[in-house]
Amino acid sequence: MLLAPIQTDGEVKSGLEDDLSQTDIWVLAASADCLGEVSEILAEHSVASMWFTQPARQHSFQSRSTADLEPIEIDELVSKLTGLVDAFEIAYFGQEAALYAFDKSLGLRRLSIDGAGEITLRAGQLERLIEEASGNLAEFQRLLRQETALGLLDQLEPLRRSVPRIDQLPRAV
């Protein structure tokens, strides 16, 4: 399958893509010794990888690409990547949109998202959190952060930055 650019320009699709959906795959941190194996795994799913240095971690690299994958392919890709890389995010915008976030020290979380990529909670999840908090607002906020994996997402935030190009700009005196 051919890859689409990360940011599309409103191109019209043929309708053949209805079974598959846009998937954003961002390997946020991978060590140099596993790049070849990760590239092979991505290639198995028709995903090209172009590696850039990871500015937030020394001796680490990142790659971001998109593809149209089926949910079962995404599950297989997630399973393989967790054993190799230090951190990744995979956003799947299909029938049941999901964000897979992984950090080696914090583990893997699958979060439901809407079409804009925002984390969504179902009414049942909120009811459970309210019941567990027993009227304690601080406890409810803690449980909400835990349910939406904000700690994990906060850990990944510094890794989401691209290669800094500010160093290439001339300095004003």
Q: Please indicate, yes or no, if residue 7 is contained in any of the structural domains.
A: no
Evaluate whether 88 touches 81 at the Cβ level (below 8 Å).
yes
CATH number of the domain encompassing residue 98 = 3.30.70.260
**Is 127 a domain residue?**
no
Domain assignment of residue 137, yes or no: no
Is residue 132 assigned to a domain? no
Q: What is the predicted pLDDT for the residue at 21?
A: 62
Give mean pLDDT, residues 135-161. 93
Residue 11 located in a structural domain? no
State pLDDT tens for residues 95-104. 889 999 999 9
Share of the chain above pLDDT 90, in %: 69
Could you tell me if residue 129 is inside a domain?
A: no
pLDDT band at 162 (very low <50, low <70, confident <90, very high): low
Is 14 a member of any domain? no
Contact, 103 vs 156, CB < 8 A? yes
pTM of the model: 0.79
Helix 137-147 and helix 123-133: axis angle, to 10°?
A: 140
Least confident of 3-12, 60-69, 160-169: 3-12
* Number of independent structural domains in the chain: 1
Domain residues for the domain of 59 are 20-119+150-163
Position 130 in a domain: no
Torsion of CA 83, 84, 90, 92, to 10 degrees: -60
Which residues are 60's β-sheet partners? 31
| DSSP-H helix ranges across the chain | 35-44, 71-82, 123-133, 137-147, 150-156
